[in-house]
């Protein structure tokens, strides 16, 4: 029984478990499968990446204080972060991966970096 390529329908020649007639068809099939329908995930990841770069650039030490206007001037968007950490006293740190920030009084922000363990 002849097998057909899952992408283009051409005859597949080779190993018994082969699904595609060529690398191009395999790539096209997987690209279509992994495509974001409305680019939502890609846009959010781009925004997170930009926020991360801003925090990384401004936080040259383990801890740095910056004004809110400095973050905004660089294009930081406070709506996009990956996690929150709440201390025992109720203080909320916002994180973009391992780069975090803590809102302080007077429009100041404390930038911190945490070691991630996977």
Q: What is the pLDDT of residues 36-73, one digit of tens each?
A: 666 788 889 999 999 999 999 999 888 999 999 999 99
pTM as predicted: 0.70
Q: What is the pLDDT of residues 23-37, one digit of tens each?
A: 999 999 988 887 766
- The residues, ordered by sequence, that sit 6+ positions from 26 with a Cβ below 8 Å of its Cβ are 7, 19, 20
- The residues, ordered by sequence, that sit 6+ positions from 118 with a Cβ below 8 Å of its Cβ are none
């Amino acid at each position: 029984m002849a097998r057909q390529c899952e992408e283009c329908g051409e005859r597949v020649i080779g190993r018994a478990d082969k699904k595609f007639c060529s690398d191009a068809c395999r790539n096209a099939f997987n690209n279509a499968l992994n495509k974001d329908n409305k680019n939502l995930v890609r846009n959010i990841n781009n925004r997170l990446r930009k926020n991360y770069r801003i925090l990384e650039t401004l936080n040259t030490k383990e801890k740095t204080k910056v004004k809110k206007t400095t973050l905004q001037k660089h294009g930081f968007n406070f709506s996009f972060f990956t996690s929150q950490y709440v201390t025992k006293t109720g203080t909320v740190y916002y994180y973009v991966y391992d780069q975090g920030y803590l809102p302080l009084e007077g429009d100041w922000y404390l930038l911190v970096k945490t070691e991630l363990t996977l």
